[in-house]
Chain A
Amino acid sequence: MEFSELIRTGRAQAKLLRGPEAPPLRGTLCVTGHHLLLSPGPQATSDLWLLLLRRVDSIEKRVSGDSGTITLRCKDLRVLQLDIEGVEATLDIARSIEALSSLESVITSFPFFYRPKGLRLGDAWHFHPPERYYKRVARETNAWRLSEVNEDFSLCPSYPRAVIVPRAVDDDALARCARFRQGGRFPVLSYHHAPSGTVLLRSSQPLTGPQKRRCAEDEELLRAALAGARPGARGFILDTRSAQAAKQARVTGGGTEAKAAYPGWKRLHRPLERGWPLQESFVRLVEACGDLEQSMDRWLSQLEACHWLAHVKEALSTACLAAQGVGREGACVLVHGAEGTDSTLLVTSLAQLILDPSSRTMAGFQELVEREWIQAGHPFQLRCAHSAFSHARPKHEAPTFLLFLDCVWQLGRQFPLSLEFGEGLLLALFEHAYASPFGTFLCSSEKERCLCEVRTRTHSLWSGLNQPKEQRKLRNPLYVPNPLAIWPSVELQTLRLWQGLFLRWIRPPEPSEVAWEKVWQIVTDKKTEGCEPTVSASEPRL
């Protein structure tokens, strides 16, 4: 297939409106295989305007007289309006965008063509493999080993090649465990808490089914996990479904760990919203945020009706519970829901942020995202296929990763000094998870990434983000390492709507960016020694 088949028209004259603040742009509009370009013409001072077509979430066209209007709603929640001369041109461009923005093929996507200056292919791909994390665990304890039993992804297609498992369990036993867990996701180590010696594990649900099947190897694996922590250690199984939902899952072959089969383990149920209801909450929130006409007196109850903040609260408090088990009670905690690729990862990754100071650094957080989301098999390709505007029938979309980012943002707001990264990094991750020139968030598992040769043929987002020029935007100037656990308040009164994301394109350019810049100036003033004495004088906003 050639992109040119999908491009119905080369170019048209258009005016672009980018929200209430930015001035409109006029110029020649042009559709290419991956981009929408607007070239303002030779006499104009402004640069070429470029939009990655994958970023378009929904497209709406209207024609009147001899011109047309296309409204593009993007996955990063921005709304753009294009006024185009000529009805035919409008319809052609709309159709081209529609076709090109919904291409499902991974290997023809833009990351496979993106070759930015200053970056070398394959540069950052070795940054964060599980081997690296295992080295850290091995320094702390002997009870765990790195297993390459999944080398060819045959045991579990959604796990990486190497996983960390109890030393006492051999690869054959792991193979049998894998057959007992949905999707082959047998319990693996997610985090080792060195101060208490206990661990956080994750898996998918056990396939007990209606006959309440058992698996000796699986039971042995969890027993070994407890023994590895400390003789007599207890464990909690944190099921992210309600007790009833877990029970019902037996009908379809799933289920949950039977009490008698796992001595020392105690099961807890913390239902977290997932799938379609979560996506719907996201859609409704974005709708409410964009609804400028409506009387604002109802804003707070609208916000409440979306339940988004309630989901944030649930996610954070479940993560606190897991973190408390590991960090305070000296217990091992196994987290799973059904597939173990969504709310499970939400809980394990947040619990680590709460407990582990090193995951709150710039590098540590990137490693956490890579290890606990990307390599742990969160199906980004499916979950982030569409954002909040799409009219397409949703299939597998769910903003689980966005919910994670929101929770991290809340942590950062409550602990303004304890995270080395700032809102900028979270916004960048949100954007790139949904549409990106980089390959990091492509595909749904390591196996798929291998098949598509993502590592050798695309650039890693991490090498993009870790360029020196990006740092000011991404880092928190106020960071001071905090060796303690950070226990957030999970009350609704302390949680806030993440304005920087949800109202990003709606609010006027508030001075927050200006303020961020000022803080940087104050903190890094040594570097600005030579700069002109106009910095503190009146700085009109443009």
Chain B
Amino acid sequence: MCETQAFFPGTGICKELEDRALLLWLTQEGAESLNRSFHVLEYCRVSSMASAPTSKYNSHSLENESIKRTSRDGVNRDLSEAVPRLPGETRITDKEVIYICPFNGPIKGRVYITNYRLYLRSLETDSALILDVPLGVISRIEKMGGATSRGENSYGLDITCKDMRNLRFALKQEGHSRRDMFEILTRYAFPLAHSLPIFAFLNEEKFNVDGWTVYNPVEEYRRQGLPNHHWRITFINKCYELCDTYPALLVVPYRASDDDLRRVATFRSRNRIPVLSWIHPENKTVIVRCSQPLVGMSGKRNKDDEKYLDVIRETNRQISKLTIYDARPNVNAVANKATGGGYESDDAYHNAELFFLDIHNIHVMRESLKKVKDIVYPNVEESHWLSSLESTHWLEHIKLVLTGAIQVADKVSSGKSSVLVHCSDGWDRTAQLTSLAMLMLDSFYRSIEGFEILVQKEWISFGHKFASRIGHGDKNHADADRSPIFLQFIDCVWQMSKQFPTAFEFNERFLITILDHLYSCRFGTFLYNCESAREKQKVTERTISLWSLINSNKDKFKNPFYTKEINRVLYPVASMRHLELWVNYYIRWNPRIKQQQPNPVEQRYVELLALRDEYIQRLEELQLASSAKLSDPSTSPSGPSQMMPHVHTHF
């Protein structure tokens, strides 16, 4: 195969091919035919035990023939002439390898490595396999076997990925054939260790929308009706001198002066003072986030902090107690005193009630997800699937996070109390709780752009340490700072979208795309730990936002069943009975787990989207017509009486 042709230089075509290729493995004919042929294999195996010669009956199968046709005449052949490449992506090397597919056995292929991706195409005629893996996904590269190890395919590379799979390549043993592949992969997968830039800084893609403009804090707070009589916007952190992990713009009680804020900052871990995340449009109760107070072993108190919390409580006259949700288990909060942290004691904070939400720390979550991977990849645990799943505790952790968020949302929506949420540093569990509660309370965040704003605000701007938790471009795969906190949040969102199929504008692909680019390093969105670091690196100027990709092709990410409902509060059922493993994400690499052929489903969804748009348009026309007839404003349908909180608390 001619390589110059393989790396087709025309950017327009590349763009299209790239889009196709990205989805190919997941959604298109490649996966479908793989899936089907796997089924054939599966039943071959079953009935070959019963004797039938395995090769014969494939030729009788109607379904199979049609698949062969699609893979022969479809997209795949176009791809055989070009390897997808983004503008700014440069080719480094290519090599013939054997890909040890955990599902279909060894497949001979050619691997192409660029500064962005590892791309493998099967060289075998009966396999349409394509692997397209952004290097950012790689967490670890190991050599397997040695120059002298025996056995077929025992010499090569073993690559651990951050997205629930491993890749294994076998190479020829002669002449250290894997050495340059190992070195190149290491270099470009872990650019930080080699003083190379992360790919996002090299990416020259062009989109017709700029995702960096999606989130404008002033606009978002204005949407919430802020500033108002009780809350003000402060620029005290303009140069990140109050708190280097907070955004420049904060919303604080009107009655707290900047000096008060500075004094409170001394008593909160990493100066992460309580600031407003969300305000209820009608009852004016608020969600406030912060880090733990620095109580320590001696039980220190801070009058300013105590007063500050009281000021927050008093922003709403009807409230006698401020509710504090400490996301941690009680014992962890106590243990944190030893390192200078702690929690708000009853003696010091008379007007506050403290509850612990029993959510475990980043290390527990990391180990739990590791166990999930153990039971789903490469082989799915067969004999005791459900009890194995239970023993990972992953769903239990999901349940606790959701339960905590429901409590926050319920408190606020009922108007009983304002809520202060913190954990230890206030950037992991706190972000999960505030953002999920906001998603339940505020239908705006359930639209595509609203959700982008939510992520941008509660996670990115408030300093969830994406760089440390994900380890972008970093080779230290065993870093104790890594943890799937954001993935867990997206999982919770998915669980909600399952329970409320019409409440979200986005579909499952939207969530999976976010997770894919959480690791890919193609966009600047999730790079770095906090806003100050991002500003220093000029991320918004030098990289592209993930939202540019999504918003320039929104239809692909839309849920056809979305029905916009203002003011509806969603309370998901956080009972184990109603939570399920997100199979389409965690086990998506396994062709046996695939569900219906995606093509007809997606096509039908597109049709439905069109129908829905038509319907909405007609509805608007009708509304216009009727409002023209009735100029009486009291008939407007969005009265406050439609706030209908329903809590179903079956925990």
Contacts and interface: CB of A to CB of B under 8 A. Distances in A.
Contacts of B477: none
Contacts of B63: 328, 484-485, 487
A487 B399 CA distance: 33
Given A236-B50, A325-B47, A496-B580, A536 B386 contact: no
Contacts of A478: 604, 608
B592 A533 contact: no
B501 A511 contact: yes
Contacts of A298: 390
Contact of B611 (A327, A523, A534): A523
Main secondary structure of the interface of A (DSSP, over half): loop
B384 A304 contact: yes
Given A324-B43, A493-B593, A268 B376 contact: no
A487 B66 CA distance: 15
A537 interface: yes
Interface string A519-542: 101110100010001111111110
B592 A538 contact: no
Interface string A282-303: 0000000100100011111101
A324 B47 contact: yes
B386 A300 contact: yes
B577 interface: yes
Interface in A1-39: 20
A9 B21 CA distance: 74
A534 B57 contact: no
A108 interface: no
B281 to A, nearest CB: 14
A521 to B, nearest CB: 8
Interface stretch (A209-217, A412-420, A433-441): A412-420
Interface stretch (A53-61, A151-159, A502-510): A502-510
B395 interface: yes
Interface in B30-62: 36, 39-40, 43, 46-47, 50-52, 56-58, 60-62
Contact of A320 (B43, B594, B648): B43
B434 to A, nearest CB: 24
Contacts of B580: 496
Interface string B125-138: 00000000000000
Contact of B573 (A300, A415, A507): A507
A470 interface: no
B208 interface: no
Contacts of B650: 20, 292, 507-508
A515 B595 contact: no
- Number of contact residues on A: which range applies? 35 or more
Interface string A428-471: 00000000000000000000000000000000000000000000
B566 A538 contact: yes
A518 interface: yes
Nearest to A323: B43
A88 B249 CA distance: 72
A499 interface: yes
A522 B595 contact: no
B507 to A, nearest CB: 13
A195 interface: yes
A253 to B, nearest CB: 27
- Number of contact residues on B: which range applies? 35 or more
A219 to B, nearest CB: 20
Contacts of A482: 600
Contacts of A392: none
A529 to B, nearest CB: 7
A179 B384 CA distance: 44
A202 B489 CA distance: 51
Contact of A522 (B385, B560, B594, B600): B560
A489 to B, nearest CB: 6
Contacts of A512: 501
B578 interface: yes
Nearest to B620: A533
Contact of A538 (B382, B587, B638): B638
B103 interface: no
A297 B574 CA distance: 12
B649 to A, nearest CB: 9
Nearest to B621: A533
Interface in B565-606: 565-568, 573, 575-578, 580-581, 583, 587, 592-596, 600-601, 604
B501 A417 contact: no
Contact of B608 (A492, A499, A515, A522): A522
A511 B502 contact: yes
A510 B571 CA distance: 10
Contacts of A297: 390, 396, 576
A494 B588 CA distance: 11
A486 B593 CA distance: 14
| Among A321, A416, A491, A535, residue most surrounded by chain B Cβ atoms (within 10 Å) | A491
Contacts of A536: 563-565, 616, 619
A196 interface: yes
A497 B646 CA distance: 26
A478 to B, nearest CB: 6
Contact of B390 (A300, A321, A413): A300
A519 B563 CA distance: 10
A300 B560 contact: no
A493 B380 contact: yes
Contacts of B583: 493-494
Interface in B141-195: none
B611 A525 contact: yes
A48 interface: no
Contacts of B576: 296-297, 299-300
A44 interface: no
Contacts of A519: 561
A415 B596 contact: yes
Contact of A508 (B573, B594, B618): B573
B50 A268 contact: yes
A50 interface: no
| Among A299, A415, A512, residue most surrounded by chain B Cβ atoms (within 10 Å) | A299
A492 B64 CA distance: 25
Contacts of A304: 384-387
A541 B615 CA distance: 22
Contacts of B595: 413-415, 489, 494
Interface in A403-422: 413-418
Contact of A417 (B600, B646, B648): B600
Contacts of A521: 615
Contacts of A289: 577
A297 B46 CA distance: 36
Contacts of B384: 304
A471 B563 CA distance: 23
Nearest to A297: B396
B50 to A, nearest CB: 5
Contacts of A535: 619
Contacts of B592: 489, 491
Contact of B615 (A236, A266, A525, A540): A525
B34 to A, nearest CB: 13
Contact of A301 (B390, B568, B581, B594): B390
Contacts of A518: 502, 561, 563
A329 interface: yes
Nearest to B642: A538
Given A297-B576, A510-B499, A538-B568, A522 B638 contact: no
Given A266-B50, A300-B390, A494-B593, A508 B385 contact: no
28 contacts: A297-B576, A299-B576, A304-B386, A321-B46, A324-B43, A328-B64, A330-B60, A331-B52, A414-B595, A415-B596, A417-B596, A417-B604, A480-B600, A487-B39, A494-B583, A494-B593, A499-B577, A503-B577, A507-B577, A508-B573, A511-B502, A512-B501, A518-B561, A518-B563, A522-B608, A522-B611, A523-B608, A538-B565
Given A533-B626, A537-B637, 5 more contacts: A236-B50, A417-B600, A511-B503, A521-B615, A538-B568
Q: Which 3 A-B pairs have the closest CB atoms?
A: A304-B386, A300-B390, A540-B644
